[in-house]
Structure 1
Amino acid sequence: MILRGERQADFAYQAVYRYIISLIGEVSTDARVKLPSLRQLATRLSVSISTIQYAYSLLEKEGRVYSVAKSGYYAWPIPTQPPTWTGGDLLDRVYAAARRPGVVVLSGDEPTLLASLDGPLLKLERELVRQYPRHLQPWSQPCGVWELRDALAARYTSSPTRCWHADDVYIGADLRGVLDLLTEVLGLRGTTVIVESPCDWLILRVLQDAGVRVIELPWLADGNLDLGTLDHLLHVEAVHLVLLSSTISLPSGLGMSAGDRLDVARLLDQYGCWVLENDTFGELNFKLPHTPLRDLVNPERLMVFSTFEKILGSEAPYGYLLSRRMSRELQRQFLLRSFRLSSIRQRAIARLYQSGRMDQHLRTLRQQLRQQAEQMVERLELHLAGQLTYRMPLAGATFWLGSTRPVDMRQVFQRLLAQHVVVAPGELFSLSGLHQQHLRLSHTFHGQPNLDDTLVTLSEALRQAQIG
Structure 2
Amino acid sequence: MSLRGERQADFAYQAVYRYMISLINQVSTDARVKLPSLRQLAGRLNVSISTIQYAYSLLEKEGRVYSVAKSGYYAWPLSVSPSAWAGGDLLDRLYAAARRPGMLVLSGDEPALLASLDSSLLRLERELVRHYPHPLQPWSQPCGVWELRAALAARYTTSPTRCWHADEVYIGADLRGVLDILIEVLGLRGTTVIVESPCDWLILRLFQDAGVHLIELPWTPDGHLDMATLDQLLRDEPVHLVLLSSAVSLPSGVAMSISERLGVAQLLEQYGCWLLENDTFGELGFKGAQAPLRELVNPERLIVFSSFEKVLGAEAPFGYLLSRRMSSELQRQFLLRSFRLSSIRQRAIARLYQSGRIDQHLRALRQQLREQAAEMGQRLDQHLGDQVTYRAPAAGATFWLGCTRPVDMRQVFQRLLTEHVVMAPGELFSVSGLHRQHLRISHTFEGQTNLDIALAALSDALRQAQMG
TM-score, normalised via structure 1 length: 0.88
Counterpart Cα distance in 2 of 1:457 and 1:80: 21
Distance 2:150 2:130 in 1: 22
Counterpart of 1:248, as a letter, is: V
Q: Deviations over 1:376-433 (max 9, x none)?
A: 0010010001000001100000000000000000000000011111100000000000
Q: How far apart are the structure 1 equivalents of 2:271 and 2:349?
A: 38
Distance between the aligned counterparts of 1:338 and 1:56, measured in 2?
Answer: 16
Give the Å deviation of 1:436.
0.4
Q: How many Å separate the matches in 1 of 2:138 and 2:100?
A: 42
Aligned to 1:190: 190
Q: How has the CA–CA distance of structure 1 residues 306 and 88 changed in structure 2, closer, same or farther, with 3 Å as cutoff?
A: same
Give the structure 2 partner of residue 89 of structure 1.
Answer: 89
2:243 corresponds to which letter in structure 1? Answer: L
Contact 2:247-2:293 within 8 A present in 1 as well: yes
Is 1:106–1:422's contact at 8 Å kept on the other side of the alignment? yes
* Other structure's SS at 1:83 match: helix
Question: What are the residue-to-residue correspondences of 1:358-397 with 2, within 5 Å?
Answer: 358-397=358-397
Q: Are residues 301 and 67 of structure 1, via their aligned partners in 2, closer, same or farther at CA, if it must alter by over 3 Å?
A: closer
- Asked if 1 retains the 8 angstrom alpha-carbon contact of 2:136 and 2:344, the reply is no
User: What is aligned with 2:9?
Assistant: none
Q: In structure 1, what is the equivalent of residue 209 of structure 2?
A: 209
CA deviations over 1:19-53 (Å, ceiling 9, x no partner)? 95998599561242879x99xxx9xxxxxxxxx99
What whole-Å deviation, never above 9, does each CA across 1:337-365 have from its counterpart, x for those lacking one? Answer: 10110000000000000001111111111
Aligned length, in residue pairs? 441
CA distance 1:168–1:23, shift in 2 (3 Å): closer
- The answer on whether the counterparts of 2:138 and 2:341 sit within 8 Å (CA) in structure 1 is no
Which runs of 5 or more structure 2 residues have no equivalent in the other structure? 1-13, 46-51
Tell me, in whole angstroms, the C-alpha distance in 2 between the residues paired with 1:407 and 1:53. 41
**Deviation for aligned residue 1:118:** 1.0
Identity value in percent: 75
Q: Do 1:198 and 1:429's aligned partners in 2 also have CA atoms closer than 8 Å?
A: yes
**Rounded Cα–Cα distance in structure 2 between residues aligned with 1:372 and 1:28:** 38
Q: Contact 1:258–1:290 (CA<8 Å) still a contact in 2?
A: no
The 5 A counterparts of 1:22-33 are 29-32=30-33
Deviations 1:141-179 (A, max 9, x none): 100000000000000001110000001000000000000
- Structure 2: distance between partners of 1:185 and 1:252: 29
DSSP 3-state at the match of 1:386: helix
Partner deviation per Cα, 1:435-457 (whole Å, 9 max, x = no partner): 00000000000334310011000
> After superposition, what is the alpha-carbon deviation per residue over 1:70-116, rounded to whole angstroms, capped at 9, x for unaligned?
xx996321334223444421111100111111011100001111000
Matched with 2:459 is 459
* Equivalent position SS for 1:462: helix
Task: Identify unmatched segments of 5+ residues in structure 1.
Answer: 1-12, 43-51
Q: Which residue of 1 aligns with 2:259?
A: 259
1:58 and 1:314 in contact (8 A); partners too? no
What is residue 405 of structure 1 aligned with on the other side? Answer: 405
Aligned-residue Cα RMSD (Å) equals 2.8
Could you tell me how far apart the structure 2 residues matched to 1:21 and 1:106 are? 28
For 1:5, the equivalent position in structure 2 comes to none
Relative to 1, partners in 2 of residues 1:183 and 1:299: Cα closer, same or farther, differing over 3 Å? Answer: same
Task: Determine if contact 2:82/2:414 at 8 Å carries over to the other structure.
Answer: no
* Deviations, residues 246-284 of structure 1 (Å, cap 9, x unaligned): 000000000111111101110011000110000000010
Of 392-401 and 77-86, the range deviating more from structure 2:
77-86
Structure 2 CA distance, aligned partners of 1:361 and 1:390?
Answer: 28
Specify the alignment match of 2:337 in structure 1.
337
- Partner in structure 2 of residue 137 of structure 1: 137
- Once residues 428 and 241 of structure 1 are traced to their aligned partners in structure 2, the CA distance between those partners, rounded to angstroms, is 22
Does structure 1 conserve the Cα–Cα contact (< 8 Å) formed by 2:32 and 2:74? Answer: no
Q: Given the two structures, how large is their TM-score scaled by the length of structure 2?
A: 0.88
Partner residue in 1 for 2:441: 441
Q: Is the 8 A contact 2:27 2:33 kept in 1?
A: no
Q: Any residues of structure 2 matched to 1:349-364 within 5 Å, and which?
A: 349-364=349-364
Task: Check the 8 A contact 2:189/2:212 in 1, yes or no.
Answer: yes
Q: Cα 1:206–1:55, aligned 2, differ >3 Å: closer, same or farther?
A: closer
Structure 1 residues 333 and 379, CA, compared in 2 at 3 Å: closer, same or farther? same
Q: Secondary structure at the match of 2:199?
A: coil
For the 8 Å contact 1:274–1:301, the answer to whether it is kept is yes
Aligned position for 2:237? 237
Distance of 1:80 and 1:277 partners within structure 2: 39
Change (3 A) 1:110 1:229: same
Helix, strand or coil at the partner of 1:242: strand
Instruction: Give the superposition deviation at 1:65.
Output: 3.2
AA of the residue aligned to 1:64: R
1:184-213 per-residue CA deviation (whole Å, 9 max, x = no partner) reads 100001110000000000000111011100
Indicate if the aligned counterparts of 1:276 and 1:304 stay in contact, CA closer than 8 A: yes
For 1:420, the aligned partner's letter is: H
Q: Secondary structure at the match of 2:339?
A: coil
Q: Secondary structure at the match of 1:427?
A: helix
Task: Measure the CA separation in 2 of the matches of 1:438 and 1:210.
Answer: 27
- Residue aligned with 1:216, SS: strand
1:126 aligns with 2:131: no
Q: What is aligned with 1:281?
A: 281
Whole-angstrom distance in 2 between the partners of 1:195 and 1:342 = 33
Look up the SS of the partner of 1:276 in the other structure: strand
Q: How far, CA to CA, are the matches of 1:23 and 1:400 in structure 2?
A: 35
**Equivalent AA in structure 1 for residue 416 of structure 2:** L
**1:228-250 per-position Cα deviation (integer Å, ceiling 9, x unaligned):** 00000000001000000000000
- 1: distance between equivalents of 2:303 and 2:185? 11
Residues in 1 aligned to 2:237 and 2:57: alpha-carbon distance in whole angstroms: 43
Q: Distance in 2 between matches of 1:138 and 1:376?
A: 44
The equivalent of 1:47 in structure 2 is none
User: CA–CA distance in 2 between the matches of 1:459 and 1:349?
Assistant: 42
SS in 1 for 2:401: strand
Q: How far off its partner does 1:140 sit? A: 1.5
1:65-80 matches, cutoff 5 A? 65=65, 75-80=75-80
Counterpart amino acid of residue 118 in structure 1: D
Match of 1:167 in 2: 167
Distance change (3 Å), C-alpha of 1:456 and 1:135: closer
Q: Within 2, Cα distance between the matches of 1:66 and 1:435?
A: 26
1:107 aligns with 107
Secondary structure in 1 matching 2:400: strand
